[in-house]
């Protein structure tokens, strides 16, 4: 097993980090995605810090981390990291202790300045509709600054069958966090967390077909075309969802993905 604590970066440093901790070669796949992995076994689970351009995310109780290098973008190093962890140190816990672990997770999002990220083609739902949207969309959060009370936590876990999802970003990284209740009986519960970190460089290039074959001018034009199509799609969705009583956040500004594609 790797050491219990690991610090992981994106880019070329990320490749060095994984190789240092695992002493294993890169798993090069014919499909064009190369993988590096770290795995821990109970009772000694991992503690991992994922370092981004302007912040980081610290994750306890880590079971595994997989880093991905895109072969056609090999010089960019690690562009994707997927982490699987337990919400709490013990495999099984009480609902009260699970709630405290959730609160700790929420506080880190705020303290490390992780913000709500809307996909370019998705509706910008106003945070005033957060609880309504969560209850009707399997726990998808649109206001990561709002911490549920214990009563709200219990009600939401029941409404969403134990699911909660966050879509966040910080500087050069977007991050999806999925929280799932995987076991429950009268006395104990089990929750798993899955984190998906993705560098905006990969996000931008992956959204454009044949982007690796384009000149700089062609790439910029394709990016602008994609943005226009996303805006058109988004406005149509927003018109529909307003009919359901939702409010739109007109102040939301997309992160500047283009700066990482140049």
By the 8 A CB rule, do 46 and 65 touch?
yes
Distance, CA of 255 to CA of 171 (rounded, Å): 8
By the 8 A CB rule, do 193 and 58 touch?
no
**Torsion angles phi and psi, residue 78, rounded to 5:** -75, 125
Number of domains in the chain: 1
Residue 239: domain span:
5-260
By the 8 A CB rule, do 4 and 21 touch?
no
Residues in the chain with pLDDT values less than 50 = none
- Return the pLDDT at 102: 97
By the 8 A CB rule, do 252 and 124 touch?
yes
Q: Closest by alpha carbon to 36, among 45, 23, 52, 49?
A: 23
């Amino acid at each position: 097993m790797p050491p219990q604590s690991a610090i992981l970066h994106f880019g070329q440093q990320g490749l060095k980090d994984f190789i240092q901790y695992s002493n294993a070669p890169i798993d090069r796949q014919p499909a064009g995605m190369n993988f590096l992995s770290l795995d821990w076994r109970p009772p000694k689970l991992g503690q991992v810090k994922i370092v981004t351009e302007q912040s980081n995310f610290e994750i306890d109780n880590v079971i595994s981390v997989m880093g991905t290098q895109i072969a056609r973008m090999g010089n960019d190093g690690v562009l994707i990291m997927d982490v699987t962890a337990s919400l709490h140190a013990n495999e099984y816990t009480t609902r009260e202790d699970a709630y405290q672990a959730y609160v700790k997770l929420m506080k880190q999002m705020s303290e490390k300045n992780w913000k709500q990220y809307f996909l370019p083609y998705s509706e910008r739902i106003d945070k005033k509709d957060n609880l309504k949207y969560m209850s009707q969309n399997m726990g998808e959060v649109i206001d990561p600054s709002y911490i549920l009370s214990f009563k709200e936590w219990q009600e939401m876990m029941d409404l969403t069958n134990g699911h909660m999802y966050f879509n966040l970003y910080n500087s050069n990284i977007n991050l999806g966090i999925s929280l799932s209740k995987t076991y429950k009986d009268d006395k104990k519960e089990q929750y798993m967390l899955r984190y998906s970190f993705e560098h905006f460089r990969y996000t931008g290039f992956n959204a454009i077909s044949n982007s690796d074959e384009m000149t700089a001018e062609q790439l910029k034009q394709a990016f602008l075309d994609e943005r226009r199509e996303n805006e058109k799609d988004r406005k149509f969705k927003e018109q529909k969802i307003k009919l359901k009583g939702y409010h739109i956040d007109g102040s939301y500004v997309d992160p500047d993905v283009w700066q990482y594609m140049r």
